[in-house]
Structure 1
Amino acid sequence: MYEIEAVAKPECCPKCGVVGSQTAYGYKTRYIRDLPNSGMQVVLKLRARRYLCPSCGATYMQSYKTVDKTSMTPRLRTKIVSRVLRREPFTRIADDYGISDKTVRRAFDDWAKKHHSITMYSTPSVIGIDEAHIDKHFRLIITDPENKRLLDMLPNNKSETVYCYLRSLENPSAVRVATMDFAPLYAKAVKDIFPCATVVIDRFHVIQLVNKHMDAARKKLHDGGIVKKRLKRERTLFMANFEDLSPDAKHQLTAWFDIYPSLSRVYWAKEQFRKIYESESRVQAEILFQKWCDTVSSSIPEFSNLKKVLVRRKDDILSYFDYRYTNAYTESANNIIKTIKNQGHGYSFEVLRAICLMSVNHISEKAYLWSSQSSEDNFIESWQF
C-alpha cells in the first residue's frame, strides 16, 4: 500500500470560480486500486482534502487529474477494458487485480456506454443476416460483409425485431444486396423495407441443404446388421466432394454404388448440383438448374421435396451469379460470438453484445480506450509519497 497526497492546492473555487487562497477544511481517506507492481497488488491510500471557499463559503473535495471518483485508477480501468476486449473472462481479470467480477463488468459497461457511438455505422450497400443460437435463444446477427463489420446483435430473431432493426437503418435505398439462408422471414423483411435490394441465398447454405437431403436418402437405405453400421460409418465419404476423395475412397464409394444403385443416383445428383456454382453467368446457371430439376423429376424421387424448395427460391438462389456475395463473413462472426460466449462463463446478453460489437470489429486496437491524459511518469510526479 502506498500513502499519497496531492502536492499542489487548488487555485480557485470550482463552485464560484473566484481565484484565491482556499482554506483547508478536513480530509477524507480513500483507497484506490492501481496496476500491480512486480506481481503484487497495489492499493493507493489517498488523503483527499476538503476545502472551504472564503468567497462563497462552499465546501468541496479537491479534484485530481490522475484519479477520478471511482475506486481504481484510470490506467487500471484501461487495462481491464483492454483485457475484456481481448475476450478474457471477467473472473480471471477480477482475480488478477483483487476485485470482484461485478467491478470488472461495471468498468466495461461504463466504457461501452461512453463509446457507444463508435459502434454505429452508416447503412452499408450489402448486409448479411443470420442468427446465432446462444443461451437457448436465437440471436439476430446483422453484418456488413463488404467491410467485414458486425453491425449489431439483437436479443431474438422474431418478426417484429427484424422489421424494427431494418427500419431503423437510414437511407434504405443504399442497400443493394442482402445475403442470408433460406429463412423466409428475412427475405420478406428485406423486400418490404429495401426497395432496391436483391436477396441472395448463401451458396453454402444451398449446398448444405442438398447434402442434408442426400444424407437422409442414405439413412433410409439402412437394412440393419453389419451393413447398417458400415453405412453409418461411411457418412463422411458420401458427404465429401468427389474430386476431393483419394483413389482408395473413390474405389470404396464405387463399391457402395454397386450395392445401392439408388444411392448412386442421389450422390451424382448432389455432385451435378454443385456444378451449377461453377457457372460463369446467370444464364448458364439457369440452364444447369433447369436441367437438374428435370433429372430429379424423372429419376430421383428422393429429391422431390428438395426440388420444390429450390424452385420456390430459385430467383434468390440464382441472384448469387449477379452479385457473387456469400454469408461467409456472417458465419465467421457467429463463430466468434459463440467463442466469446463460451469464454465468458455467464455474460448477460447486454454485456455479450457490447463485447462482440467492440471485439469482433477489432475496436480494441483503436486509440479511444480510457485515457488518464497523463503518462505514467506524470502520474508518479503528481503525488507525494
Structure 2
Amino acid sequence: MVNVSWARPEIGFTLLFEAFSMLLIESEMPVSKAADIMDVYPQRLWNVFSYWIGKAHQNDCQSETTVLGIDETSSKKGHNYVTVAVDMDERRVIYAVPGKGADTIDAIAGHLESKGCKREQIKQTCIDMSPAFISGILHNFKKASITFDKFHVVKIINEAMDKVRKLERNEFAMLKGYKYTFMKSDNKLSEQAKEAKYDILTLLPNIANAYRLKELFAEFWTFKTKEEAGAYLSYWCDLVEESKIFPFIKAAKSLKAHWFGIVNYSETNLNNGILEGINSKIQLAKKRARGYRNINNFINMIYFIAGKLKFDYPLYST
C-alpha cells in the first residue's frame, strides 16, 4: 500500500470521488440518496462528509466576531436540541453544540477562545428570554449587552391578545376562529376579514381595549434611543395596569422582568431575522433527511448549509 496524491491515506476513495459526493450533498440531496448514487453504504459517505466539514470548520477564522446571535433548534421533531451560535455581522453559523442549557453558552465561549476570540471581545448578543441563555451570557460575556429578540417580545403580546379573545369567547361564540385576525396587521388581512374584525371591536369593548394595547405596543419599535424607548414602555405598562385586563397585566410583568434587554433594541436593532432565515434552511434539511438520529451528523449539516465554510477538496467538473 502506498500513499498517492489523488487520495487520502487508507480511505479507499479518490479525492474526486469525495468531491463529487460533496457536490451531490451540496445540491440538497439527502446523504442516503447520494450514497445510493455513489453505490456505497451511507455511513461511509457520512464519514467523508464529516471529514471535510471538520477540516473546514477547524480552519475557519472566527477571531473577529463581536456580535452573537444564539438560538436553539432540534434534530428531529421535539427531540435532541442543538444550540446554534451565529456571527450576526457575517450572517453565518460559527458553532453548534448539543443541548439548550446554560452550559451550551459555556461551550460557545470556550470554542471562541480556542479560535482567538476573547470573551470580552463580544459586545452584543441577541437571544430569546430563556433564563439559561441569560445566565450563560452574563457569566461568560460580561461586557456584552443583551438584546431580546423582537419576535419573542411580540409573541408575548400576541399571546395576551389571544387569551383575552379566548376568555371572551366563553360568552360570545362569534369569536371562535378569529385567532389570527387580531394578531395580523390590516395589510395582511382581506377586506372581509378587516370588516369582520372592526365589527367585533365595535361590539365588544373588552376585546377593543385589548386590541388597542396591542396596537399601541407596536409603536415601541419606532424609538431610536433607550431613554425614549424606556419612557414609552413605562407609559404602556401604566396603561395596562389601568385597563385591568389580566392577560396583559401578566405580559407587562414579563416585559418588566426583561426590561433592559427589550429597551436595548432601540439602539442595537438586533433581532433574530438572521437566525430565523438560517433556521429555515436547517428545518428544510431536517425535513429532507426525515430527521437526524446522529446529533454529530446534524451539527455537521448545519455547518455545511449555514457556516459559509471554505473547502479545499478538488473541484469536480464534468
TM surpasses 0.5: yes
The answer to whether 1:79 aligns with 2:23 is: no
The answer to whether 1:198 aligns with 2:145 is: yes
Instruction: Report the Cα distance in structure 2 between the residues aligned to 1:160 and 1:70, rounded to whole angstroms.
Output: 36
* Aligned residue in 1 for 2:165: 218
Structure 1 residue 238, shift from structure 2 partner: 0.9
Give the secondary-structure state (helix, strand or coil) at the position aligned to 1:151.
strand
Instruction: Report the Cα distance in structure 2 between the residues aligned to 1:209 and 1:143, rounded to whole angstroms.
Output: 24
Conserved 8 A contact 2:53-2:303 = no
* Aligned residue in 2 for 1:279: 223
Structure 1 residue 62, shift from structure 2 partner: 5.2
Counterpart of 1:190 in structure 2: which amino acid?
A: I
Instruction: Report the Cα distance in structure 2 between the residues aligned to 1:223 and 1:122, rounded to whole angstroms.
Output: 57
Conserved 8 A contact 2:224-2:267 = no
Conserved 8 A contact 2:101-2:133 = no
Instruction: Report the Cα distance in structure 2 between the residues aligned to 1:201 and 1:268, rounded to whole angstroms.
Output: 24
Instruction: Report the Cα distance in structure 2 between the residues aligned to 1:231 and 1:147, rounded to whole angstroms.
Output: 45
Structure 1 residue 127, shift from structure 2 partner: 0.3
**1:327-346 pair list within 5 angstroms:** 327-346=272-291
Structure 1 residue 133, shift from structure 2 partner: 2.9
Instruction: Report the Cα distance in structure 2 between the residues aligned to 1:118 and 1:362, rounded to whole angstroms.
Output: 12
* Aligned residue in 2 for 1:250: 194
Instruction: Report the Cα distance in structure 1 between the residues aligned to 2:194 and 2:291, rounded to whole angstroms.
Output: 47
Q: Between the two proteins, what is the percent identity of the paired residues?
A: 22
* Aligned residue in 2 for 1:89: 30
Conserved 8 A contact 1:282-1:322 = yes
Instruction: Report the Cα distance in structure 2 between the residues aligned to 1:207 and 1:85, rounded to whole angstroms.
Output: 36
**1:93-104 pair list within 5 angstroms:** 93-104=34-45
The answer to whether 1:307 aligns with 2:248 is: no
Which structure carries more strand by proportion? 1
Rg larger in 1 or in 2? 1
The counterpart of 2:83, out of the listed 140, 143, 154, is: 140
The answer to whether 1:232 aligns with 2:176 is: yes
Instruction: Report the Cα distance in structure 1 between the residues aligned to 2:58 and 2:161, rounded to whole angstroms.
Output: 47
Segments of 5+ residues of structure 1 without an aligned counterpart are 1-60, 377-385
Deviations along 1:163-185, one digit per CA (max 9) or x if unpaired, are: 23324432111111110111122
Aligned-residue CA RMSD (Å): 2.4
After TM superposition, the score normalised by the length of structure 1 is: 0.74
Counterpart of 1:315 in structure 2: which amino acid?
A: F
Which structure carries more helix by proportion? 2
Structure 1 residue 149, shift from structure 2 partner: 1.3
The counterpart of 1:349, out of the listed 268, 288, 295, is: 295
The answer to whether 1:298 aligns with 2:242 is: yes
Give the secondary-structure state (helix, strand or coil) at the position aligned to 2:68.
strand
Instruction: Report the Cα distance in structure 2 between the residues aligned to 1:346 and 1:248, rounded to whole angstroms.
Output: 40
Give the secondary-structure state (helix, strand or coil) at the position aligned to 1:141.
strand
Deviations along 1:106-138, one digit per CA (max 9) or x if unpaired, are: 221232333342345125111011111333132
* Aligned residue in 2 for 1:4: none
Q: 1:89 to 1:159 in 2, by over 3 A?
A: same
After TM superposition, the score normalised by the length of structure 2 is: 0.88
Q: 1:123 to 1:158 in 2, by over 3 A?
A: farther
Structure 1 residue 259, shift from structure 2 partner: 2.8
Q: 1:70 to 1:283 in 2, by over 3 A?
A: closer
Instruction: Report the Cα distance in structure 1 between the residues aligned to 2:301 and 2:164, rounded to whole angstroms.
Output: 43
Conserved 8 A contact 1:74-1:371 = no
Q: How many residues of Structure 1 are paired with residues of Structure 2 in the alignment?
A: 309
